[in-house]
Chain A
């Protein structure tokens, strides 16, 4: 079946612009996670959605970062007033239920801020 998809695959933007990154989770998966992966680094947790519960935003690095999930499916990560240090690969993962830990990742969006 279809896996997690993300768009765009690559995004180049100028410093100070806003960007939106999209994630389509696996159909039926109720949990959705966003991570950031800087060059040569591990995965940094950003935000977690589970069903209709309030999201866990504990990993968002600043108030320039926000995310929403509409209808319990598609999610959008928004970065306002982008900075060069925001350049990274942004990964989305989904999981089938709260008690199922298996997370399945999308291919990521490579963001470059010039």
Chain B
């Protein structure tokens, strides 16, 4: 079945450094790729997303890149700050009931620790 692989499972960086999290997906029909940030005791929060007709998207210190040919996408966080510490999940849309690609399958998460 469809799956999304996410690496690394844990990532520790120094404040001010960059962090990169990578995901690969299996469903060639996937056309939407969101990233979520989950802080302890809270629900996941959508931080950035990209659609398959775009190769890169930026929002301040966060960027996402997509390579549809290779079926992988990455999250880049620059100038990391302690408040960036959280679990990050990638996801890819997959075909759901009736064939519409409006379901998401999630990666297993990356625990990012930014050391001050």
Contacts and interface: CB of A to CB of B under 8 A. Distances in A.
Interface string B38-67: 000111111001000000000000000000
B13 interface: no
A42 B109 contact: yes
Interface of B: 6, 32, 34, 36, 41-46, 49, 89, 93, 96-98, 100-109
Interface of A: 4, 31, 33, 41-43, 45, 48, 50, 53-54, 56, 58, 91, 93, 95, 98-99, 101-108
Given A56-B96, A102-B34, A107-B43, A45 B104 contact: yes
B105 A45 contact: yes
B90 to A, nearest CB: 10
B43 A45 contact: no
A103 B104 contact: yes
Nearest to A3: B43
Nearest to B109: A42
Contact of A91 (B43, B102, B109): B43
